[in-house]
């Protein structure tokens, strides 16, 4: 699989649709999924990347030992897959982001698409800038970060 790099400024229309760069589409392929990232952004996965995540998650489908780490991972993967949605384009090559995910990532009209290895991240430009300045992208994981 090729690696996603770079960042791209795009717009979100009033119906929650956006386009993605051709180079990104060529790398990710056709069957895409969008969900919550591990922070204040969204993550777009290819079918292959989501299947890899699924393989990792299989060991956490149920609680076996009851350790704090295991319980945390069971919860993480449960939410990860529950919040995932197909990310498909319409006839005009626009991809619709579900409203609950738009709200989660605080997306407005301008968005920033960021390549992160095998995942495309969708950010509010303001939150991405703040993350770069103060690393607030992980604020949902650490309540002490504002």
DSSP tag of 18? E
The CATH number of whichever domain residue 72 belongs to comes to 3.40.1550.20
Domain assignment present for 127: yes
pLDDT digits (tens, 9 = 90+) for 43-80: 999 999 999 999 999 999 888 899 999 999 999 999 99
How far apart (Å, rounded) are the C-alpha atoms in residues 81 and 57? 10
pLDDT of 139 > 70? The answer is: no
Domain assignment present for 124: yes
pLDDT digits (tens, 9 = 90+) for 88-117: 999 999 999 999 999 999 999 999 999 999
Domain of residue 101, residue span = 7-138
Count how many domains the chain has: 1
Domain assignment present for 2: no
Domain assignment present for 67: yes
Query: What values do phi and psi take at 116, rounded to 5?
Result: -140, 80
Domain assignment present for 1: no
Domain assignment present for 28: yes
Domain assignment present for 146: no
| Angle at alpha carbon of residue 97, lines to 55 and 116, rounded to 5° | 50
- Tell me what percent of the chain is helix, strand and coil, each rounded to the nearest 5: 40, 25, 40
């Amino acid at each position: 699989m090729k690696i996603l790099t770079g960042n791209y400024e795009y717009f979100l229309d009033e119906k929650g649709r956006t386009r993605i760069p051709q180079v990104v589409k060529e790398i990710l392929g056709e069957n895409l999924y969008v969900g919550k990232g591990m922070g204040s952004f969204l993550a777009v996965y290819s079918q292959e990347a989501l299947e890899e995540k699924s393989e990792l998650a299989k060991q956490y489908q149920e609680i076996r030992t009851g350790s704090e780490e295991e319980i945390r991972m069971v919860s993480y993967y449960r939410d990860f897959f529950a919040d995932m949605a197909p990310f498909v384009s319409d006839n005009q090559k626009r991809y619709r982001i579900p409203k609950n995910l738009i709200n989660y990532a605080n997306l407005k009209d301008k968005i920033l698409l960021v390549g992160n290895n095998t995942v495309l991240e969708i950010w509010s430009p303001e939150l991405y800038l703040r993350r770069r300045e103060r690393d607030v992208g992980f604020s949902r994981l650490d309540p002490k970060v504002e």
